[in-house]
A = this chain, B = another copy of it.
Amino acid sequence: MENTTTQLNLLVKMAISAWESQNKQLNKLLEALTDEQLKKEIAPGRNTGVYLLGHLIAVSDALLPLLGFSDRLYPELEEVFIKNPDKSGFAMPTVSELKEKLQAVNAKLATIFETTDVDEWLERHTAVSAEDFANEPHRNKLNVLMNRTGHMANHLGQMLLLK
Contacts and interface: CB of A to CB of B under 8 A. Distances in A.
A99 interface: no
B122 A10 contact: yes
A87 interface: no
Contacts of A146: 14-15, 18
Interface residues of A, number: 41
Nearest to A4: B4
A73 interface: no
Interface stretch (A61-69, A90-98, A105-113, A150-158): A150-158
Given A4-B4, A11-B142, A154-B154, 18 more contacts: A1-B137, A2-B119, A7-B8, A7-B122, A10-B138, A11-B11, A14-B138, A14-B142, A14-B143, A15-B15, A18-B147, A21-B147, A42-B161, A149-B150, A153-B154, A154-B157, A157-B158, A158-B160
Interface of A: 1-2, 4-5, 7-8, 10-15, 17-18, 21-22, 42-44, 46, 118-119, 122, 137-138, 140, 142-143, 146-147, 149-151, 153-158, 160-161
